[in-house]
C-alpha cells in the first residue's frame, strides 16, 4: 500500500474514542505531553449508555516522524478504542 505524501508542517486533528473514566483522560494528557506537545484533548460526545466518550485533539505537526510517534503512542493508551 502506497503512503500518501503529506506536506509538513500541517495542522492535524485526532478523533479519539475511549472508555469514559478519568484515568483515560489523564493517560492521554500524559502521552501527549511525553511526545512534546502542550495541547490537551477536548471532551465531546458521550455514548448513550455512558461507557464511551470522544475527544478531539488538534495540533501542529512538524514532521511525519512526529505524527507517527504520537499516533502510535495514543493507540497504546489504556482505554482508547479507536483513533481517527
For 68, counting Cβ atoms within 10 Å of its Cβ (0-12 exposed, 13-18 middle, 19+ buried), the class is exposed
Entry pTM: 0.89
Residue 35 lies in a domain: yes
Residue 2 lies in a domain: no
pLDDT per position as a tens digit, 7-64: 999 999 999 999 999 899 999 999 999 999 999 999 999 999 999 999 999 999 999 9
Asked if residue 2 has pLDDT above 80, the reply is: no
Q: What is the largest CA-CA distance in the chain?
A: 40
Q: What is the mean pLDDT of residues 70-80?
A: 97
Residue 60 lies in a domain: no
* H-run or E-run covering 75: helix 64-75
Residue 58 lies in a domain: no
CB 28 within 8 A of CB 61: no
Per-residue pLDDT at 29: 97
Residue 3 lies in a domain: no
Domain that holds residue 23: 10-53+65-83
Total domains, the chain: 1
Residue 59 lies in a domain: no
Amino acid at each position: 500500500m502506497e503512503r500518501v505524501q503529506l506536506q509538513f508542517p500541517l495542522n492535524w486533528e485526532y478523533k479519539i474514542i475511549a472508555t469514559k473514566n478519568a484515568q483515560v483522560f489523564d493517560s492521554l494528557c500524559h502521552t501527549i505531553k511525553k511526545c512534546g506537545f502542550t495541547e490537551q484533548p477536548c471532551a465531546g460526545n458521550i455514548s448513550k449508555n455512558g461507557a464511551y466518550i470522544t475527544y478531539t485533539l488538534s495540533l501542529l505537526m512538524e514532521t511525519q516522524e512526529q505524527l507517527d510517534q504520537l499516533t502510535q503512542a495514543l493507540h497504546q493508551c489504556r482505554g482508547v478504542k479507536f483513533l481517527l
